[in-house]
Structure 1
């Protein structure tokens, strides 16, 4: 591979390239130098992403495709939208942002997804799958209404994201129009895992030798996209810049809905990614730029929340044949892989289709099974209607397991699991648990699956599960973790914030302030024992790694009012805002959720002062 250097304005310059400031420079590169340019970009990506962490495999697979897009289309005049957005790193390089990769996904640094704040070439900050085609449909309509008929709109979507229902809603509309929308189907045969289902079978037919199907060739088997109104072009080698450029130029000139079928290899050009059958190094932490492996652990191996859940679910599945599991194209990331290996017939990966996953779970429950739906917290919000109307309305025993709840860190605003509790808290009959440690995760998962009168949810954060925090005693369903004998302050915590509360309580007790720390275990329904404890203290403070709007603090305050409990209650939690990317520790501190900040809030509350000088209903604390 050729060496990379940095050109003016921090833009990328390879051994044979002039410095790239924007797409106009990409179009000026002679055709004979494009292969060297692609090699330079891959070298750059491997070195930078292995050093900072980020989405490596998806970006290595779209280097030539992105170069070709910027040589054919005139961004930002022509809108280029990347579905999910985690494969937009090459796009960022070609639009003059290479210098930012030294701080990729770090506080104040480059976002790991498209960002309207970063560049006019990023039309939307999309990072949830299957949305690009709807954006494209709307932009094409806007161009038509404004008389910009010469402009094109391009949506780059993977075969994994194409399995999402929203993508098909958009295809239905785009195909019936005559607007110039170019859908580039980046077909690498997988999302996190290999793409499954009827769409994958159809794409295989289109790629198979002898099965090339033209849009109007009635002698061939039917082409689904052609039947939906698209001109189908392809399949084309997604790693041949010249071939891509030719077919994309043809699509641009047609001035109507076109689907370009580009066949790529995820992780292309980096041996460790190509050989990684699990996820092609889809998303990596800091890893070796030669082997693709993390640095050897220096201490005892850390146990992630996800792994604890996976093993705990397998134990329950061993005991109960009616327990089944569903995920949306995230078998390994959500911890279902161990169960899928042992009980493949009882684990269902439905593709990137959270709405379908939830209602399919409802059908399984109607059929006498107890489904466990394992999703990232941020993705459950896409299926809010299905949770409400398809599961809860029927009081069905479905357990939702929400990984990456609360602050997740470097993936930023779209991936923080901040809203699940607020949304699920409104669902009638929904029981929500938040384990403070791995022992409680095992216990609460069993309790959730044992609940047959309606839906339940178990939420836990990203990262490593800390040491178990043993309870002094349990009253009802509430664990009392610390008590000093003086009933001054009741700290109510759940989930991972319990450790900070314990640290804060110890220091407050040293200052002569009586503090009790309790973990309700079940956030909803609010336990009567929690109300009784609140009534016996002079001040109640809730601490949660969730949005304060609709969180535990709000629910407990409402119950205190309903039961005429007059103890003042203050809540600490995440603000009603879109939080940026950074480390989990730093973002929690910014939200006022460190042990020191909890102490500060307690002292101000006891003095009758606002918890922060500029407290408001949307602030960190009131």
Structure 2
């Protein structure tokens, strides 16, 4: 029988009052609490279940928030949030107006550094440690909790390289569970596997070679042992690393056995652990699956096609190609910079390379996009998954900047497929041969077409499409967001509908200037609509075109203004930023 210890904790100070022999009971309660909430509210499950003992131990041993904990890949931090005063509001996790699914500095003093992506914790914690040294705060502890395969990222190695030559009070906790969202890959993973198998580090310990005081590996679910080691390491000077072995999904059988699915399983039965049944056969496919199945179809008849993703084979659906053509599909781990330049290198040797990266993660490889791809006109085919507003993952994951940050780069093509057929056809078009790299952006969403596997048709580069004629005003859209425009128009009176036109530009770059000339010669009111930032995107390009050609039509730009949208459903967030069906309709009524 559980003792309801969790309900007595409002802060880590309360946690430290619990006798150490009672902490395993608390760990069980914390696991059950996380399972029960995520089962009904959805969210990230496996990662937080895997660090329950570690989370309790960290707050039990260290004087948080005075001592600073920095989490890596923030979806490990559910237990941390619950133990630091957010238990009563945890049911609002990832919901509009609720708490974030990731550590967030303005949410709690215990969230020392915001993190949604990976491999930032060591750099941030090292910066904090050096700051403490400069201020003479010699007793302050700085702990980076690195997990879910993020240790293999380039930024983590850069930070390790620096940390090893500093005299700082820095502890790196390596939460080694051999999986990120998908299983870990690469030589470092193999090295860590050998360490775990042997039960002790080899003579050429990679961390000791970087001048870190190494301890481990130890069982990360042995709470007493973890507490003992953390207490000991508090008194060890200099940079140090504690290697823990944990199991992602610990405490829920299905999450342990199917770690990929239970990373973020959606709603499930909290008592049995079984996923809620879904009938997806009758639904149009996700854009991700259209990509995955189409690249397999193309690769079947073209042995020069290569697929690359940085640690997202399941999420991006490149897993289909990895299963069919394992020698031509690569998961390079959490290494976006490497993925881009690796793709460029392959492309220089005559291969047709699809590089699939979430839009928000491509930001991490911006220099490589500019210098290693576009400057050299290397025709890599980039598929930007999760473009636009993504929903509950919030500000760190929205793919709203790609249009703007790509638009200013020379020597590239930007295309937004309106539906599954267009995604399929632009992939086919790119395989036929392009002289420039192309960036194909699509949302985290289902399409609207069931019979999408049609005969391939080549798309004319830079060609817009008229979706509806009008007489007085026109909405200029880009890709999938056009469905909101058409739906909004359909809600108007029949007479009003006839006055509003709608055009899908499809290509942000090159712009269909012939179409834009027709637009400005016909309409006095022009509205641009995009699922991205207004600054630098479609709206900016249309306004610049009109100014360059002395057109005097009234132009209004709809899109995401100069803000970071928070977390909520896609529909809620679109309404907040003014690009929902209802908000577009309200705008049209003013025309």
Pairwise TM-score range, normalised by the shorter structure: over 0.9
Counterpart in the other structure of 1:406: 388
Cα pair 2:168 2:239 within 8 Å, conserved? yes
1:362 aligns with 2:319: no
Counterpart in the other structure of 2:479: 495
**Structure 1 residue 553 displacement after superposition:** 1.0
Q: What RMSD over aligned residues (CA atoms) do the two structures have, in Å?
A: 2.0
CA distance in structure 1 between the aligned counterparts of 2:548 and 2:432, rounded to whole angstroms: 30
| Of 502, 527, 547, the match for 1:517 | 502
Counterpart in the other structure of 1:542: 528
TM-score (norm 2): 0.95
Counterpart in the other structure of 2:455: none
| Greater mean alpha carbon deviation, residues 392-401 or residues 531-540 | 531-540
Counterpart in the other structure of 1:65: 54
Counterpart in the other structure of 2:27: 38
CA distance in structure 1 between the aligned counterparts of 2:450 and 2:184, rounded to whole angstroms: 38
Counterpart in the other structure of 1:253: 235
Structure 1 residue ranges, 4+ long, deviating more than 4 angstroms after superposition: 473-476
Q: How does 1:601-620 map to 2 (within 5 A)?
A: 601-604=587-590, 606=591
**Structure 1 residue 280 displacement after superposition:** 5.3
SS in 2 for 1:332: helix
Q: Deviations over 1:384-440 (max 9, x none)?
A: 110001100110010111111111111111111110111111111111111111111
Counterpart in the other structure of 1:388: 370
Q: Deviations over 1:465-494 (max 9, x none)?
A: 124899xx999722111114x3x1121112
Counterpart in the other structure of 1:483: 469
CA distance in structure 1 between the aligned counterparts of 2:384 and 2:113, rounded to whole angstroms: 26
| Of 546, 554, 571, the match for 1:585 | 571
CA distance in structure 1 between the aligned counterparts of 2:117 and 2:213, rounded to whole angstroms: 27
Distance 1:567 1:232, change over 3 A: same
Counterpart in the other structure of 1:440: 422
| Greater mean alpha carbon deviation, residues 390-399 or residues 291-300 | 291-300
Runs of 5+ consecutive residues of structure 1 not aligned to the other structure = 4-13, 214-219, 607-622
CA distance in structure 1 between the aligned counterparts of 2:14 and 2:469, rounded to whole angstroms: 67
**Structure 1 residue 159 displacement after superposition:** 5.4
Runs of 5+ consecutive residues of structure 2 not aligned to the other structure = 453-458
CA distance in structure 2 between the aligned counterparts of 1:21 and 1:261, rounded to whole angstroms: 29
**Structure 1 residue 111 displacement after superposition:** 1.0
| Greater mean alpha carbon deviation, residues 499-508 or residues 178-187 | 499-508
**Structure 1 residue 246 displacement after superposition:** 1.1
SS in 1 for 2:465: strand
| Greater mean alpha carbon deviation, residues 595-604 or residues 357-366 | 595-604
Counterpart in the other structure of 2:516: 531
CA distance in structure 2 between the aligned counterparts of 1:489 and 1:18, rounded to whole angstroms: 59
Cα pair 1:494 1:520 within 8 Å, conserved? yes
Counterpart in the other structure of 2:456: none
**Structure 1 residue 307 displacement after superposition:** 0.9
1:162 aligns with 2:151: yes
Counterpart in the other structure of 1:172: 161
CA distance in structure 2 between the aligned counterparts of 1:368 and 1:273, rounded to whole angstroms: 42
CA distance in structure 1 between the aligned counterparts of 2:295 and 2:483, rounded to whole angstroms: 25
**Structure 1 residue 508 displacement after superposition:** 4.6
SS in 2 for 1:466: coil
CA distance in structure 1 between the aligned counterparts of 2:180 and 2:144, rounded to whole angstroms: 17
Cα pair 2:524 2:554 within 8 Å, conserved? yes
Counterpart in the other structure of 1:212: 200
Q: How does 1:371-386 map to 2 (within 5 A)?
A: 371-386=353-368
Alignment length, in residue pairs? 582
SS in 2 for 1:344: coil
SS in 2 for 1:176: coil
| Greater mean alpha carbon deviation, residues 527-536 or residues 26-35 | 527-536
Distance 1:544 1:147, change over 3 A: same
**Structure 1 residue 299 displacement after superposition:** 8.5
Q: How does 1:233-312 map to 2 (within 5 A)?
A: 233-276=215-258, 279=260, 281-289=262-270, 290-297=272-279, 300-312=282-294
| Of 552, 556, 559, the match for 1:570 | 556
| Of 433, 436, 443, the match for 1:454 | 436
Distance 1:17 1:348, change over 3 A: closer
Cα pair 2:283 2:450 within 8 Å, conserved? no
CA distance in structure 2 between the aligned counterparts of 1:595 and 1:202, rounded to whole angstroms: 52
Cα pair 1:322 1:370 within 8 Å, conserved? yes
CA distance in structure 1 between the aligned counterparts of 2:120 and 2:430, rounded to whole angstroms: 32
| Of 172, 177, 186, the match for 1:183 | 172
CA distance in structure 2 between the aligned counterparts of 1:564 and 1:18, rounded to whole angstroms: 67
Cα pair 2:575 2:582 within 8 Å, conserved? no
SS in 2 for 1:321: coil
Q: Deviations over 1:346-372 (max 9, x none)?
A: 111111010111011111111211211
CA distance in structure 2 between the aligned counterparts of 1:448 and 1:550, rounded to whole angstroms: 25
1:422 aligns with 2:427: no
| Of 111, 124, 139, the match for 1:150 | 139
1:19 aligns with 2:3: no
CA distance in structure 2 between the aligned counterparts of 1:367 and 1:593, rounded to whole angstroms: 43
Cα pair 2:105 2:114 within 8 Å, conserved? yes
| Of 457, 469, 490, the match for 1:506 | 490
TM-score (norm 1): 0.90
| Greater mean alpha carbon deviation, residues 501-510 or residues 324-333 | 501-510
